Amino acid sequence: MESFVYSPLPHKIIFGRGSTRQLPQCLRALGFRRPLVLSTPYQIEQARQITEILKPHVEDASIFSEATMHTPLGITEKALRFCQDKESDVLISIGGGSTTGLGKAISFRKDLYHIAIPTTYAGSEVTPILGETVDRIKTTQTNISILPKTVIYDVDLTLTLPLPMSLTSIINALAHGVEALYAPNVNPIVSLMAIEGVRALARGAVQLLDDPDSISARSTCQYGAWLCGTCLGSVGMSLHHKLCHTLGGSFNLPHAETHTIVLPHALAYNAPKVPKAMEALASALPTSNGDALHGLNSLLNRLGVPRSLGSIGFREDDIDKAADISVSKSYPNPRDIDRDLIREVIRRAWAGEDARADL
């Protein structure tokens, strides 16, 4: 065995169909009486469902439904004032990474207990990481007090996520597991979670194709998202996440789609330096025939998810600029960062090619 450090995340996970019904009991046990439920405008109905469950048990339950992509500071400040006026004593975020981000931003500033109810597979609910945008510039900070204290995974709330969004969100989650396998501070528990998470996500995604309303498939995906999200929250990420951060932040590309398109190419770049991770990954991906890159290409093609950055609004003329930004800051990566090869990674992703092991 190699040396390692393992530090589990201090939070409680409640997993299971219908588990949001445990909220009143949860709040009672913690002594909270004035919950503030957070959502985007598109999920206000789900936020209302939560307040309906809570109302008979609390003094007041209010909703702030203006959560927005990239957690802009202006919205956080508005939500903080609302929270102050309502004298809220606990936050309940219901939604994807954007809503969880707002919950984190408020809870971090006001030291409020945060219960996250994720409705996508992005994984933010199990990380101590907060990304916020001020004047269109996104900065990220990590602090253990950002981590939501309780997470409730209730599969019923994911049924309304349209299939195309579900599939890219699943690959977003899978990317956390992939990069965890070769993280500089990986440990045996995180490796186990990554492999199990990737296996569950790949299996669940293929099942969803046949039946987007399948409780069993969506539950398998949620299980995988929890595991891979926990990997993201536990160990450092490398090239793939840095590239997606650059492309999302500097070129305003959609989060989950960008992850989906870039992942196979970033993996192809690192593959020569991480043979053990590639072997483990191949064992978790269906139809890999012992080749992780082949397994990932064929999974993505089978799911019919977007494969080209060009198709989501990234321009060929911006490839050089993106390459320059991507190599401007150093970070741990298994393979040294070569500007021209990174340019080729971005070019292949822009063109929508299958990933190849010739980088």
| Under rule CB under 6 A, residue 95 binds ligand NAD | yes
| Under rule CB under 6 A, residue 158 binds ligand NAD | yes
Least Å distance, CB 219 to ligand NAD, is 14
* DSSP state at residue 270: H
Contact 333, 274 (CB under 8 A): no
Q: How many CA atoms lie within 13 A of 220 on its CB side?
A: 18
Select from 25-33, 73-81, 121-129, 350-358 the region that touches ligand NAD (CB under 6 A).
121-129
The site for ligand NAD, by CB under 6 A, has a size of 28
Report 250-289 residues binding ligand NAD (CB under 6 A).
Answer: 255-256
Least Å distance, CB 40 to ligand NAD, is 4
Closest CB to ligand NAD among residues 278, 303:
303
The residue behind tokens 């409640």 is 14
The residue behind tokens 């299996």 is 203
Residue 45: what are its φ and ψ, rounded to 5°? -65, -40
Closest CB to ligand NAD among residues 43, 288:
43
| Under rule CB under 6 A, residue 150 binds ligand NAD | no
Sign of CA dihedral 174, 176, 179, 183: negative
Report 219-248 residues binding ligand NAD (CB under 6 A).
Answer: 232
Least Å distance, CB 354 to ligand NAD, is 24
For ligand NAD, the nearest residue by Cβ is 97
Number of other residues whose CB lies within 10 A of the CB of residue 340: 8
3-class DSSP assignment, residue 350 = helix
Contact 79, 40 (CB under 8 A): no
Which one of residues 93, 127, 260, 288 is an interface residue with ligand NAD (CB under 6 A)? 127
Distance CA(100)–CA(153), nearest Å, equals 13
Which one of residues 129, 186, 200, 303 is an interface residue with ligand NAD (CB under 6 A)? 129
Least Å distance, CB 44 to ligand NAD, is 9
* H or E element at residue 166: helix 163-181
Q: Provide the token pair at 45.
A: 């109905």
Closest CB to ligand NAD among residues 167, 271:
167
Q: Provide the token pair at 240.
A: 């793939």
3-class DSSP assignment, residue 64 = strand
Q: Which residues bind ligand NAD (CB under 6 A)?
A: 40, 42-43, 69-70, 95-99, 101, 119-120, 122-124, 127, 129-131, 157-158, 160-161, 169, 232, 255-256
